[in-house]
Structure 1
């Protein structure tokens, strides 16, 4: 099969300059500012992020999940500990996050170590989820091979009958926190001269650096 080129899919970016003097003292404060601007712009699911992990052997994997919280400690998402990303994070507790805010010509990239959220915090968040999502977390052994859709639906119905009101949090499900060591803010500009400003954690604190586009 011949390779296919895409000459017509060229995008021209233009945004206001991203200057060092406009940046917050730390990346979490800057992320909070940009996240509010993404919300104000009406982006669909601005908390959607790509999470990239790797196995102990270096085999990479990426998928889209939803950010469920952030503060000075890092960025939190929830998943099945037995999923592929859960297994990767057990073997290699580091991850990269990417927020692709294309309509406003911005991206945020995060790299860091990963720790599990406390069981109590995971249980509190699980209890706040819609009933159907809680049953779904029990019914789906995420990333495992299943024989059919009917098998999944039957398992869901069995568990809904078992817990008609308040299913508990599974022991195989919970939160991860990505503790950042690098956070890059990308602003698209004309002629591929994009602005890239990166916060990098050092012993004295955060250092802000400009990267070539």
Structure 2
């Protein structure tokens, strides 16, 4: 335990000032996301999604961002999975990106809605065939006997749909509509930069938080 307690790092790569940040958090996120991609950090599109179930217990998992704009952040999943059921029952959620190599974290909180059928259809059609079949074959989050269930299901639906599987009715996109953003930049001596954006009367209010 003492070895773990001694693990620490001095963050000294960059800074985040009010003057250098964008007044709109979506534009600030676009800037940081582009920098993460250009820096070739591993899976810059990976984000932690936090939901809360009917038992008031939180749960998290990694999902992949598939789009964003002024409306919000989009990802795709099985609506009958644990996260899908929890978001249906409680649409409040949070996302977090952690770009370790850049010493940066982005946190987003807000309400979640399903994207349109047209958006889900378009993204589903763009996926590799194996992934489209997999959306049919996997009863996501359900207990299964063994991997044979998945392999058998994949073979069944591949034979049924051949090269043109339709989008499963239980599969599609979610969009988080941001109400709060936080951009965290690691700094020396644990005096990190934290800029928060809060939606107030339809406008974004930018504030600095103590680390």
TM-score by length of 2: 0.97
Post-superposition Cα deviations, 1:98-124, rounded to whole Å, max 9, x if no partner, equal 001011100100000000001111011
Secondary structure of the 2:11 match is coil
- How far is the alpha carbon of 1:79 from its aligned partner? 0.3
- How many residue pairs match? The answer is 210
Q: Does 1:22 align with 2:20?
A: yes
Distance 2:14 2:126 in 1: 39
Counterpart pick for 2:84 among 83, 86, 93: 86
Corresponding residue for residue 128 of structure 1: 126
Counterpart pick for 1:198 among 188, 196, 199: 196
> How do 1:152-163 residues align onto structure 2 when only pairs under 5 Å count?
152-163=150-161
Corresponding residue for residue 72 of structure 2: 74
- How far is the alpha carbon of 1:57 from its aligned partner? 2.9
> How do 1:99-118 residues align onto structure 2 when only pairs under 5 Å count?
99-118=97-116
- How far is the alpha carbon of 1:204 from its aligned partner? 4.6
Q: Please tell me the root mean square deviation across aligned C-alpha atoms, in Å.
A: 0.9
Distance 1:56 1:180 in 2: 22
Counterpart pick for 2:173 among 164, 172, 175: 175
- How far is the alpha carbon of 1:129 from its aligned partner? 0.3
Gaps of 5+ in 2: none
Distance 1:62 1:17 in 2: 29
